[in-house]
Structure formats: C-alpha cells, structure tokens
A = this chain, B = another copy of it.
Amino acid sequence: MNKPVKNDGTVGKALEILDAVAMYERPVRFSELLEQSPYPKATLYRFLQTLTNQKFLEYDQTAGTYSLGIRLMRLAHTAWKTASLAPIARPHTEELVAKVGETVHLAQLDNGQVLFIDKLRATDRFQTLAQVGQVAPAYCTGVGKAMLAFIAPKRLQIVLQQQSFYKFTPATHTSVASLNQELECVRKDGIAFDREEHEQGINSIATPILSSSGRLIGAISIATATNRFDCEALMQFKGSLLETAKKIGEDATSWQFPS
C-alpha cells in the first residue's frame, strides 16, 4: 500500500527546484522558472530566496538570473570523499593508469544512468572525456553496458522501458535487441565495448566491479581516442582491466552500493 511517493513536503518541493535550475545548464531568469513551475509566483519566489540564502543557488544581481550555487560543490566533494567508491578504488585505478598509459574512468549506476565518479587522465591529449559528476546514458557507454549486464533481469526490464534511445553518433545502437545481445557477451566475457557510440572519436573497453558476494558496485573503463587505439587494440589491456576490477571489488566489499 505504497503512497504515491513524491510527498516530501516543503523540503522536497524546494529541492526539486534545484533540478529545474540545473536543467537549463545556464543562468536562468525567474520568469523562465515560473513557466515550468507548478507553484504560484510568490511561492516560487520564496523558494528561490531560501535556496539563494543557503548558497544552493546563486543570484546574479545585474543579470537577474539564478544558477546553481557554490555550496553544492563543497558538499559534493565531501560526498565524493566519504561516500563514493572512488577513494577506495584510487590506489588500483592509479596503478592501472600507470600500467596502460591511457585514461581510466570509474562509474556507478544511478537510476539507470551512468554517473562518472572518477577520471584519471593519463595524457593531456584530449579534454572531452567524462568529468566527475557527469552523467551519461547506460546503453551507449562501456561502463554503462558493463553494469547493465549485471543487474537483476527485472530491474533491467524497468530501466530499458524508461530509457529513450537517442542516436548520439552514427555508431550508437538504439535497439533493445542488439543491446541484449551485447549484454550477453559482457556476461560471458566480462568486457563491454563502446565503439564511438556516445562520443565521436572516443572508444573504450569496460568491465563491471563486483563485490566478493557478487553484487554489482560499479564499473571501470579504459578510454582513448580512436586514432590511438581501437577497441581491438585496447584488448591488449584486458588482463590488467579485469585484475584491477577484481581488486577494487575485494577492497569495496564492505562498502554499500546505493540501491
């Protein structure tokens, strides 16, 4: 007899405004937010004031715009340090970078999406790779597919149902059938590929991180520009990648993955 959810009172409403502001990905005016808002003027106005006071939003006096505030960065840093897999994995990911000399990504699954929680750049050759806190769809990234392959079948169904398949590049697979086929390969082989499916010119090989009890807790990938290595060439690092994932899994066994 679950309540219809979404009943987090005043606080919940206020927090959802943060998402609304984030959505725009640029400073946004009061009136723009008002259009999207289910709340009347005065109510929205007070929410924005409160969030600004609390430094969760930042108000630009001269432009009359709101953007996400500085306090979020402070809190997120603490979250990263104390509640993410990243610090635990660091020694091992560092080692992997040193060994293979290419960029390594660490990610978790968050609500069917990939959330990148660490990025170790081996070279300064290109800048467009994922950043900490960035999200990406699971169906077209290496780490995403690595993780989807190891969640419960019924959860997978739900995730895929909610997913809209956007064709980021010509190489993006957008059918559930081909995805399922790929996931099957991942389960057999332990390796997921991303052949420029999310970003043109970038490919990667990825593997899930499993706790010693077999529960999925994240994924790591080695990513590189296609003109340096293609996926087949990246497979020379397969051994190191799997080994790293195994070590992280062991170290992280006590650690709880968010549901």
Contacts and interface: CB of A to CB of B under 8 A. Distances in A.
Interface string A118-144: 000110100100011111000000000
B53 A117 contact: no
B73 A80 contact: yes
Interface in A90-106: 90, 94, 97-98
A97 B124 contact: yes
A68 B73 contact: no
A63 B8 contact: no
Contact of A124 (B22, B83, B98): B98
Contacts of A259: 61
A256 interface: yes
A171 interface: no
B94 A124 contact: yes
A221 interface: no
A58 B257 CA distance: 10
A47 B53 CA distance: 19
B69 A133 contact: no
B82 A15 contact: no
Copies of this chain: 2
Contacts of A67: 79, 82-83
A190 interface: no
B82 A8 contact: no
Interface in A23-57: 24-27, 47, 50-51, 53-54, 56
A74 B27 CA distance: 17
A81 interface: yes
A76 interface: yes
A93 B107 CA distance: 26
Contacts of A70: 79, 84, 108, 110, 115, 258
Nearest to A5: B53
A11 interface: yes
Interface of A: 5, 8-12, 14-16, 18-19, 22, 24-27, 47, 50-51, 53-54, 56, 58, 60-63, 67-70, 72-84, 90, 94, 97-98, 108, 110, 115, 117, 121-122, 124, 127, 131-135, 256, 258-259
Given A60-B256, A67-B83, 11 more contacts: A8-B53, A10-B10, A12-B53, A15-B54, A22-B75, A61-B256, A68-B78, A68-B82, A70-B84, A80-B133, A81-B131
